[in-house]
Structure 1
Amino acid sequence: MEGGRTTRNRKPLATVGWRELVDLPDLGLHAIPAKIDTGARTSSLHATILEQYERGGESYVRFAVDFARQHVRQVCEAVQVDWRGITSSNGKTQRRMIIKTPLTIGAQTFRAEISLADRSDMKFPMLIGRSSLRRRFTVDSGHSWLQTPGRDPVEGHKP
C-alpha cells in the first residue's frame, strides 16, 4: 500500500501537518492559522462571547473573532449545541460553549464541534482536536502546511 493510512473500506486518509490554514465558511472565516493537536479531543476557536439569544426555539451565540496581526474583528453567529467541561493544557477544566459548523481542511469540508475560548495567550487562534481528525486525516508532526493550498509544505518544527 502506498500513501497514507486507510480506513476499513480502504479509503486513503489525507495527511495534515502540525499546523494548517483552515476555513470556517459558514462563519465567514478563512485562512485561520490552526495547530493540529491530537492530545485535545475538541477543536477550539479564539472568540469573545458577545451575546446569547434564542431564535425559533434554538439557542444561538454571537461572538467576535479577533485577528490581532491584521487588526480585524469578525463578528459571527452560530447555533449553540452544548456547554461542556473542557480541560485545557494547564490542567484546569473550564465550562465552554460548543458550536457545530462546517470546517474545511484542505479539500475536505465536514461539520465539527468547536469550543469557544479565550486563546489570546496562544500562538494559534484555532486548535484542531482529534474528534475532527478521526477517520479523515493522519498527522505528520514533522511537517507544516500539507493541506494548505498555496503554501509549500515545510519540514521541521519552527514555532
Structure 2
Amino acid sequence: MNTFHLPERKIHMLTIGWEERVSLPLLGLTGLKAKIDTGARTSALHATDIVPFDRDGIPWVRFHSRFDDDTRDIDVECPIHDQRNIKNTSGVPEMRYIIRTRFAIARRAWRIDLSLTERTDMTFRMIVGRTALRNRSVLVDPGGRNLTELPKTDLAERGHHERTSP
C-alpha cells in the first residue's frame, strides 16, 4: 500500500497578552498601548475630527489620533475601505468608517481593518479584535500583559510628531 506524506509544516505560535504594544506603521503610529479583545469582532482606533473627503474620485478620511501614553499625537489621511454599523461598548450599533492598514506586533505584520471611533473616555485607545488575529498563529494568554517586544525601529521612532498618508 502506497502512502502519501506531506512535509510537516512548523507553525510558530506567537503568544500575546491581553495588553500589548502594537504599531500601525503606514499611519505613523508606533508603540500603541492596545487591548487585545477577542470579544470584539472588529478592531477600533481612537479618532477625533473625522472628516470624509474625495481625492481623485476615491473616498478618503482625515482624522486626528491622540494617545495619553507616550505614543504619537497625529493627523492622518487614508482611503476609506468601508463604512458599516458596529456595536459600541454599550451594544448600540453606530455607523463607522473602516480603514485598512498594516498592523505590527512583535516581529510580525499583516493587514487589518480598523473602525474609527471616539474613545476618549476609554482606558485603551486601540482595541485589537478577533478578526485581526484570526488565521495568524496567535495565542492570547488572558493572564499575560506585554509579552512581546517592539521591534527596534519602532522604539527609535516613538515620540515624533508628523502628518502622514499611507
**TM-score (norm. length: structure 1):** 0.83
Q: Choose between structure 1 and 2: higher strand proportion.
A: 1
- Say if 1:59 and 1:30 are closer, same or farther in 2 by CA, change over 3 A: same
Alignment match, 2:31 = 31
Q: Percent identity?
A: 40
Alignment match, 1:143 = 144
Alignment match, 1:132 = 132
CA contact (8 A) 2:42 2:129 kept: yes
Distance 2:50 2:18 in 1: 31
Which one is further off, 124-133 or 57-66? 57-66
Distance 1:70 1:20 in 2: 14
Which one is further off, 48-57 or 114-123? 48-57
| Matched length | 143
Distance 1:70 1:37 in 2: 22
Equivalent positions of 1:5-24 (< 5 A) are 10-24=10-24
Question: 1:51 is aligned with what amino acid?
Answer: V
> How far does residue 57 in structure 1 lie from its aligned partner after superposition?
2.6
Superposition misfits of 4+ residues, deviation over 4 angstroms? 69-72
**TM-score (norm. length: structure 2):** 0.79
Q: Which has the higher contact order (CA 8 A, sep 6+)?
A: 2
Alignment match, 2:5 = none
Q: Is residue 80 of structure 1 aligned with residue 80 of structure 2?
A: yes
- Say if 1:41 and 1:59 are closer, same or farther in 2 by CA, change over 3 A: same
How big is the alpha-carbon RMSD for the aligned residues of Structure 1 and Structure 2? Answer: 2.0
- Say if 1:134 and 1:79 are closer, same or farther in 2 by CA, change over 3 A: same
Provide structure 2 residue ranges, at least 5 long, that are not aligned to the other structure. 1-7, 152-166
Distance 1:52 1:146 in 2: 37
Distance 2:9 2:58 in 1: 37
